[in-house]
Structure formats: structure tokens, C-alpha cells
Amino acid sequence: MKIGKALVTLVVVLVLIQFIPFGKDHKNPPVTGTPQWDSPRTEELFNRACKDCHSNETVWPWYSNVAPVSWLLSLDVNIGRSKFNVSEWGREGKNDGDEAAEETRKGKMPPWFYLPAHPEAKLTPAEKDELVKGLAATFGEEKHEEKKESR
């Protein structure tokens, strides 16, 4: 009997939290700038493994409208965009590309919890190496300094 009450309570809570509006506004901000990629291959790998959280071109899956998953996804995308966003390239504070290369090299990006729902983002070791080198070539310190000087 206790299991039945707990199950009913859980279902009621899950239904009620669907009415909390946080995490369901999936309007992507406009793209205001884009980087000059070192190669089409780097851009392709970035689009596969990084773009959903590190651009304003997020593809929101159906489950991003179901709480509490919607809350987590919205938070992850907002954090990802705040740290590194290729759709706002050139905007101060958004250009930590050399850090993106390092995070990818260490295996921190893409995060493990993103991969089950996005198998296309799973990179082979060779693809990961290509992406790390491409990110470093595109967003490396030398190019970053050149951009600052040319402003």
C-alpha cells in the first residue's frame, strides 16, 4: 500500500512540475558573429559535438520540454553559451576557444551525459584529436591576440 501511495505522489508531482515555466523557452538568440574556422572539418566536428551548447543554434529535442529534464538542459546550454559561444564570436568574454581545445583534449567535452541522447557527438580518438588541433588552430592564443590588436 505504501508503494502505491508513493507512486501516485510521484506521478502527481511530475505532472505539477510541468507547469513551472523555467527551461521551456527555447528561443535561440540571434547569431551576431561567427569565427573563421581553420578548416571545414573542424567546423563539421564542432557542429557534431559542441554546437548545441556552445552556439545560438541549439537543436532542442522533444524531451527538452519535459520537466525536470528541461531545467537541466536549459541550465547546461546557458552555462555552455556563457563560457564559449561561437554565435557571438568577437564579443568580449566569449572567446575562450583555447580553453575549449584543452577541455576537449582532457575528455571533459562533450560531457558524458550528453552522449547517450546524441550519439553523433561521440568522437573517435582520431576525430577528437582533429577537433582539438582544429580548435587550437582556430581559437589559439596567437589568433586571439591578432584579433584584439586589429580592433
Give the number of other Cβ atoms within 10 Å of residue 109's Cβ: 25
Count of the separate structural domains present in the chain: 1
Where do we find the cell 520537466? 67
What is the per-residue pLDDT for 91?
A: 75
Greater confidence (42 vs 89) lies with 42
Three state DSSP letters for the chain: CHHHHHHHHHHHHHHHHCCCCCCCCCCCCCCCECCCCCCHHHHHHHHHHCCCCCCCCCCCCHHHHCCCHHHHHHHHHHHHHHHECCCECCCCCCECHHHHHHHHHCCCCCCCCCCCCCHHHCCCHHHHHHHHHHHHHHHCHHHHHHHHHCC
pLDDT tens digits, 23-71 = 778 889 999 999 999 999 999 999 999 999 999 999 999 988 999 988 9
- What value does the mean pLDDT take over residues 130-145? 77
- In this structure, which amino acid lies at residue 15? V
- The radius of gyration of the chain from alpha carbons, rounded to an integer in Å, stands at 19
**Total-model pTM:** 0.80
Range(s) of the domain holding residue 128: 2-149
Distance CA 31, CA 88 (A): 6
